[in-house]
Amino acid sequence: MVYISSWDEFAERSIQLFRADPQSSRYVMKYRHCDGKLVLKVTDNRECLKFKTDQAQDARKMEKLNNIFFTLMARGPDVDISEVSGKEQSEAQPTKKGRGRKQ
Amino acid sequence: MVGSLAQPTHLPPYFKLRKVSSKSAREREREPSLFAFAMVLLQPDPFLNELTSMYERTTERGSVWVTLKRSSMKSKAKRNKMTSAGETIEYRCLVRATDGKKTISTVLSAKDHLRFQASYATILKAHMSALKKRERRDKKKAGDGQTKQEDLKKPPKKSSS
pLDDT in tens, chain B (161 residues): 444 455 555 555 444 444 444 555 555 555 555 444 567 899 999 999 999 999 999 999 999 999 999 999 888 899 999 999 999 888 999 999 999 999 999 999 888 899 999 999 999 999 999 999 877 655 555 454 445 555 555 555 555 44
pLDDT below 50 — which residues of chain A? Answer: 86-100, 102-103
| pLDDT confidence of residue B112 | 87
Does an H or E element contain A9, and which? helix A7-20
Q: Would you say how long chain B is, in residues?
A: 161
- Domain-located, residue B159: no
Cβ(A65)–Cβ(A74) below 8 Å: no
- Domain-located, residue A62: yes
* ipTM summary value: 0.79
Q: What DSSP line would sit under A52-72, residue for residue? A: EE-BHHHHHHHHHHHHHHHHH
Residues of B in contact with A55 (CB under 8 A): 131-132, 134
Q: Which domain holds residue B102?
A: 35-127
Q: Would you say how long chain A is, in residues?
A: 103
- Domain-located, residue A101: no
Contact A66 B125 (CB under 8 A): no
Residues of B in contact with A72 (CB under 8 A): 70
> Is the full-model pTM beyond 0.90?
no
| pLDDT confidence of residue A90 | 37
- Domain-located, residue B10: no
Contacts of A74 (CB under 8 A, 6+ apart): B92, B93, B108, B109, B110, B113
- Domain-located, residue B76: yes
Angstrom distances, CA of residue A3 to CA of A42, A50, B69: 11, 5, 21
- Domain-located, residue A41: yes
Q: Which domain holds residue A19?
A: 7-81
Please give the tally of structural domains in chain B: 1
Tell me which residue in B61, B116, B132 faces A34 most closely, judged by beta carbons: B61
Give me the CATH number covering residue B92: 3.30.720.10
Q: What DSSP line would sit under B47-105, residue for residue? A: HHHHHHHHHHHTSSS-EEEEEEEEE-SS-HHHHHHHHHTTPPPPPEEEEEEE-SS-EEE
Please give the tally of structural domains in chain A: 1
Angstrom distances, CA of residue B113 to CA of A64, A71, B41, B68, B89: 14, 7, 16, 12, 19
For A52, phi then psi, to 5°, come to -125, 140
Give me the CATH number covering residue A16: 3.30.720.10
| pLDDT confidence of residue A86 | 46
- Domain-located, residue A12: yes
